[in-house]
Structure 1
Amino acid sequence: MEYIKEVNLREAVIHILDNNADEPILNEFALDLNEETYDFLLKHIQRCLKDEELKYAFFNKERNIVKDLSQEYLNGENNILDVSKELARQMFILMRSKGNVPSCDLVTVSFSTEFGMFLGIFKMDYIKNYLHNIEYVDDRIGINIIPQFTGLPASSSRIQKCAFIKAMNQDNEYDLMVIDKQKKSKNNEDYGSNYFIDSYLGCTVIDNERDQTKNFVKVAEKWTQSALNENADKQEKVRREIKKKLKEEDIIDVQKFSEEVFKEPEIKESFVNFATEAGLGDSIPVDKEWVEKKLKRIRLKIDKDIDIYISEEAYHDINRFEIQRNGDGSINMILKHISNYVEK
């Protein structure tokens, strides 16, 4: 996966999309990217680029206004003010037609990276803030707390819906990266539906290396808990082997992994069948950067009532942490040479 490290903002525009209004309130000027505004947008971009729900996607072949407008801008054929206005109009039309999409500010921002130029679209849903209100009643001061529903997400908050679009060409690994976090709902037509991806962006999400690596770890863990239930000894061996393969291999061959890790033929077959039914491919490209981040700290949930967080270094240090095998499927986990601890 392309992990973007260098982000330099070029220009940005914000528009107001209020469901209670008949028309969107469209800005006639680009934002003044002073130090505070620049930092606010930059932190949102960086946080979204690091979000594990960020997905690769390709634009669908059908004509789509967002696709056409973004490419016009990225190819130098249109300016950000006109492009952002039309992007806002399209979102407002969609909001009104759905009838249950929250009001928001729509921010369009362009930025350069080590992988080229991107056009970002942020749907910034309003958050509830509280303000004090001062009234004078019979020469006496009265202070109340009143809600305000037009606050923007703080730079430390997570954006629910955004897209980062690049210039399209046939060699692209993807056309855009998208976050579309869903609100849990029993009704598929509610706000939790895929209106942002399907109707607005008109794109199809694909799995990248990080998605495939995460899915392999998830499926392997699910199989381990199910097939090796009540056998902590075998569970630990499998998990240790998974970590080893993730660190050493660039591509994990599921069949070969099963052959190397398990001795019993029925266990080998069980793992491969489980992986196939879960939708894993025959070979899994390993996202090394995700693996390094994932394995920095290991969380062990033991018998439902003990939690241990341990660094990868400590986990593999025999002088600090040891697994003792009891021969009956159970294990002892031993913490060694503790000189200091804090109770929380």
Structure 2
Amino acid sequence: MEYIREININEAIIHILDGNGDEPLLNEFKLDLSEDIYTFLLKHLERLLKDEELKYAVFNEGRNIVKEISQEYLNGENDLLEVSKELARQLFIHMKTNVNISSCDLIIVSISTEHGPMLGILKMDYVKNFTHKIDFTEDKMGINIVPQLAGLPSSSQKIQKCAFIKPIRAEQTFNLMVIDKQNKSKEAEDYGSNYFINNFLGCTIISNERDMTKNFLKAAETWTRKNIKEDADKAEVIRTTIKQKLKEEELIDINELSQDLFKEEPQAKENFVQFVSAQGLDSNVSIDKEWVEKKLKRIRLKIDKDIDVYLNEEAYHDINRFEIHRNGDGSINMIIKHVMNYMEK
């Protein structure tokens, strides 16, 4: 996974896309990147580029306006103001043909990173904020609370849809990074629910190392829960072996792993391989070492449905603090040792 840690904002523009209007309200000036505005945008960008729902994508074949005009800017052939206006017009066209697309402010931002320049497209859906309102009646002051329906997401709130487009170069594995979170209140098959990726950006999501690693770990855990229900000893061995492989290997061969896990159980070995494959994973899974390190730092155990144990990796592997004792009948004892202090929460 290409993680981005160094972000510098070069320039940015905001446009208003009101679905109830006949035309988008297009800005004629770039944003004044004062310290407050710069910090506001930077925090959003940092949050988005760290989001685990950030996906790799490639532009589809054929004519693509978003692709063409973004490349004009990234190759120094056009001004951000003109490029941003055309991007706003294109999104507004989709809004007018689909009433389910929410009105928004569209921010187009040029950034420099350690991996090169990018053009960011941030769809800032409005959030409902509240403020006070002062009225005077017969020289008496009245103060009420009134809603503001066109507030922008604060830097601590998540943006649902965005894209970061790279300059397209030969033999590039991906052209852009995309977040396209769906509204959970709507059915997945709602008309136009994938408009941002399919229609506006015109791209196709592809897997990256983080996606593959997450999906593999999820598939392995799901298989274990379904197939090893009354043998905590065996389940612990499977989970520990898989986590060890994730930390040690750059590439996991699913067939070899299954052989290691189920040496004398041909049916379980075949079933595991088939299940993992059915989740859309190849027989060789590239491992995102940075994600693994972050993910495995904390371990949360749900024990017999009514006990939660939450501890870090160091404590889990410290035999002086935590130990798993195998009883020989499929059950295990989990022993927390040498407790000197504890709190109730």
Q: TM-score, normalised by structure 1?
A: 0.97
- Are the aligned partners of 2:131 and 2:147 in contact in 1 as well (CA < 8 Å)? yes
In structure 1, distance between residues paired with 2:60 and 2:271: 38
Name 2:113's counterpart in structure 1.
113
1:88 counterpart = 2:123: no
SS at match of 1:339: coil
Calculate the aligned-residue CA RMSD, in Å.
1.2
> Which amino acid letter does the alignment assign opposite residue 32 of structure 1?
D
Question: Unaligned 5+ residue runs, structure 1?
Answer: none
> Which amino acid letter does the alignment assign opposite residue 238 of structure 2?
V
SS at match of 1:324: strand
In structure 2, distance between residues paired with 1:279 and 1:97: 33
> Which amino acid letter does the alignment assign opposite residue 270 of structure 1?
N
User: What do the CA deviations read for 1:113-137 (whole angstroms, capped 9, x no partner)?
Assistant: 1110000000000000011112222
SS at match of 1:313: helix
Give the CA deviation at 1:262: 1.7
In structure 1, distance between residues paired with 2:44 and 2:284: 34
Name 1:28's counterpart in structure 2.
28
> Which amino acid letter does the alignment assign opposite residue 96 of structure 1?
K
User: What do the CA deviations read for 1:304-327 (whole angstroms, capped 9, x no partner)?
Assistant: 222221111111111111111111
SS at match of 1:122: strand
SS at match of 2:320: coil
Name 1:67's counterpart in structure 2.
67
> Which amino acid letter does the alignment assign opposite residue 51 of structure 1?
D
Name 2:273's counterpart in structure 1.
272
Question: Is 27-36 or 118-127 further displaced after alignment?
Answer: 27-36
**Which residues in structure 2 correspond to 1:229-308 (within 5 Å)?**
229-263=229-263, 264-308=265-309
Aligned residues: 343
User: What do the CA deviations read for 1:81-113 (whole angstroms, capped 9, x no partner)?
Assistant: 000011111111111111121110000001111
In structure 2, distance between residues paired with 1:34 and 1:11: 11
SS at match of 1:11: strand
> Which amino acid letter does the alignment assign opposite residue 338 of structure 1?
V
> Which amino acid letter does the alignment assign opposite residue 273 of structure 1?
Q
User: What do the CA deviations read for 1:237-263 (whole angstroms, capped 9, x no partner)?
Assistant: 110001100000000000000111223
- Are the aligned partners of 2:215 and 2:279 in contact in 1 as well (CA < 8 Å)? no
Name 1:180's counterpart in structure 2.
180
User: What do the CA deviations read for 1:250-299 (whole angstroms, capped 9, x no partner)?
Assistant: 00000000111223222212211211222221100000000001001111
- Are the aligned partners of 2:48 and 2:159 in contact in 1 as well (CA < 8 Å)? yes
Question: Is 178-187 or 84-93 further displaced after alignment?
Answer: 178-187
Name 1:318's counterpart in structure 2.
319
SS at match of 2:168: coil
Name 2:344's counterpart in structure 1.
343
SS at match of 1:304: coil
In structure 2, distance between residues paired with 1:246 and 1:286: 7
**Which residues in structure 2 correspond to 1:189-228 (within 5 Å)?**
189-190=190-191, 193-228=193-228
Structure 1 moving runs of 4+ over 3 Å: none
> Which amino acid letter does the alignment assign opposite residue 119 of structure 2?
L
In structure 2, distance between residues paired with 1:187 and 1:290: 28
Name 1:5's counterpart in structure 2.
5
Give the CA deviation at 1:212: 0.4
- Are the aligned partners of 2:300 and 2:308 in contact in 1 as well (CA < 8 Å)? yes
1:157 counterpart = 2:157: yes
Give the CA deviation at 1:205: 0.2
Give the CA deviation at 1:190: 4.5
Question: Is 36-45 or 51-60 further displaced after alignment?
Answer: 36-45
Give the CA deviation at 1:21: 1.8
In structure 2, distance between residues paired with 1:314 and 1:159: 36
> Which amino acid letter does the alignment assign opposite residue 278 of structure 2?
E
> Which amino acid letter does the alignment assign opposite residue 286 of structure 2?
P
In structure 2, distance between residues paired with 1:42 and 1:96: 30
Name 1:37's counterpart in structure 2.
37
In structure 1, distance between residues paired with 2:169 and 2:229: 49
Name 2:145's counterpart in structure 1.
145
Question: Unaligned 5+ residue runs, structure 2?
Answer: none
